[in-house]
């Protein structure tokens, strides 16, 4: 049985890459060297893209991407952070974090200034950033509610725990 099937139950194009047991499970031993159906990374990234799109629909009216909302809400909760601290708490590398804050700085939602030693940059919410993150909270709550309605609230709790566990694998 193919994991991915058309609505009329015909095997899809992925059929050529491998097979699943009747229970829909596929182990690495049963896959080719690279089998998108058996690749944990591909599965996680596909799910992440779909879930991100759901959240972005709710954030778009506020002029934010979900990644930007995550940064703003982190700063709202924790206060000013160095770029290294932000990157670490967001599980990003420093370069990715620096690029992510660019549009927020451009839109004057955050401000950066030199840290205590002069070498470090510290990021803080501006008044406009505080207002935007507060306004965006309703969109985030709506996205959370929609996801939990579609996926199941209890399943969402378990999913977050499993994803936290998966995130530790890569460290």
What pLDDT, on a 0 to 100 scale, did the predictor assign at position 152?
Answer: 95
One domain for residues 87 and 16: no
What the block records as the tokens of 88 is 């670490």
Q: Does residue 155 form part of some domain?
A: yes
What pLDDT, on a 0 to 100 scale, did the predictor assign at position 27?
Answer: 60
What pLDDT, on a 0 to 100 scale, did the predictor assign at position 3?
Answer: 40
Q: What is the pTM of this model?
A: 0.74
What pLDDT, on a 0 to 100 scale, did the predictor assign at position 21?
Answer: 54
Query: Which sign, positive or negative, has the C-alpha torsion 93, 94, 99, 101?
Result: positive
Q: pLDDT below 70 — which residues of the chain?
A: 1-37, 170-171
One domain for residues 3 and 76: no
One domain for residues 5 and 68: no
Q: Does residue 51 form part of some domain?
A: no
Q: Does residue 50 form part of some domain?
A: no
Domain that holds residue 25: 1-30
- CB 146 within 8 Å of CB 54: yes
What pLDDT, on a 0 to 100 scale, did the predictor assign at position 35?
Answer: 66
Domain count, the chain: 2
- CB 82 within 8 Å of CB 97: no
What pLDDT, on a 0 to 100 scale, did the predictor assign at position 122?
Answer: 93
One domain for residues 77 and 3: no
Q: Does residue 43 form part of some domain?
A: no
One domain for residues 21 and 93: no
Give 33-59 pLDDT, tens digit per residue.
Answer: 666 667 888 889 999 999 999 999 999
Q: Does residue 132 form part of some domain?
A: yes
Q: Tell me how far CA of residue 40 lies from CA of 35, 36, 44, 50, 167, in angstroms.
A: 10, 8, 6, 16, 12
What pLDDT, on a 0 to 100 scale, did the predictor assign at position 50?
Answer: 96
One domain for residues 72 and 122: yes
What pLDDT, on a 0 to 100 scale, did the predictor assign at position 127?
Answer: 97
């Amino acid at each position: 049985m193919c994991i991915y099937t058309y609505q009329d139950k015909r095997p899809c194009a992925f059929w050529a890459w491998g097979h699943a047991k009747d229970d829909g499970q596929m182990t690495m031993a049963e896959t080719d060297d690279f089998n998108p159906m058996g690749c944990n990374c591909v599965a996680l990234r596909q799910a992440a893209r779909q879930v991100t799109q759901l959240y972005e629909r709710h954030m778009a009216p506020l002029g934010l991407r979900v990644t930007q909302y995550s940064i703003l809400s982190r700063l709202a909760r924790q206060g000013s952070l160095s770029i290294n601290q932000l990157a670490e708490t967001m599980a990003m590398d420093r370069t990715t974090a620096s690029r992510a804050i660019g549009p927020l700085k451009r839109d004057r939602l955050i401000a950066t200034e030199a840290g205590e030693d002069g070498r470090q940059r510290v990021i803080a919410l501006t008044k406009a950033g505080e207002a935007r993150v507060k306004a965006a909270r309703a969109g985030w709550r709506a996205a959370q509610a929609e996801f939990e309605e579609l996926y199941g609230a209890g399943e969402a709790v378990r999913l977050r725990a499993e994803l936290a566990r998966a995130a530790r694998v890569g460290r």
